Amino acid sequence: MKNLKFLFIAFIITSCGTIVNYDYEKSTDFSNYKSYDYFDDMKTGLSELDTKRLIKALDAQLNLMGLTRSENPDFFIDIQSQDIQNRSNSNVGVGVGGTGGNIGGGISVGLPLGGNKNTREISIEFVDDTKTGMFWQAVSESTYSPNASPEKREEKFKVLIEKVLSSYPPEIK
């Protein structure tokens, strides 16, 4: 029974996390990239305030990594996002049954777990306009609350960007 409780708690914790998928151009020499800027015509799909929060978190993390924002950058960053509303399809079946000789019966009730969840997919692309085009991309998917306070939104973006950039530059084998 203890193991079942542990597995249930582990499932709950991991199901609420952020999923990040990465891709990159294998021939890229990431040590050549020291400065960045954002595309002027970037349409993030976020509100103006959330775009500012995301860029602030991205600037802070890139600065910690030794990259600087420049008007004459080595690469540009493009950010795109989309909101996805997921319906909860999970349910628990509760059954009641009986048997008497050759007669049997049962009733099953489906109880939905949780409710609809708002999920946001954010794609961050690093693009070298002069050489290879896009050379690194991260696509994250995480839940969010559209009614969250500005402080919680800022913290959510900070945590998201830390996770997204944890694999930059990639370890090329």
| Residues linked to residue 79 through DSSP beta bridges, in sequence order | 124
The pLDDT assigned to 11 comes to 40
Instruction: State the average pLDDT for the chain.
Output: 81
Hey, where are the domains in the chain? Answer: 18-85+112-167
If you average pLDDT over each of 10-19, 61-70, 140-149, which comes out highest?
Answer: 61-70
State the fold for domain 18-85+112-167: Double Stranded RNA Binding Domain (3.30.160)
pTM of the model: 0.73
Point out the least confidently predicted range of 15-24, 36-45, 93-102: 93-102
> Three-state SS string across the chain, please?
CHHHHHHHHHHHHHHCCCEEEEEECCCCCHHHCCEEEECCCCCCCCCHHHHHHHHHHHHHHHHHCCCEECCCCCEEEEEEEEEEEECCCCEEEEEEEEEECCEEEEEEEEEECCCCEEEEEEEEEEEECCCCEEEEEEEEEEECCCCCCHHHHHHHHHHHHHHHHHHCCCCCC
Look up tokens 């609420």; give the residue. 16
pLDDT of residue 6: 42
pLDDT beyond 50 at 4: no
pLDDT digits (tens, 9 = 90+) for 107-160: 555 555 555 678 899 999 999 988 779 999 999 999 888 889 999 999 999 999
Q: Of 172, 150, 137, which Cα lies nearest the Cα of 20?
A: 137
pLDDT of residue 39: 95
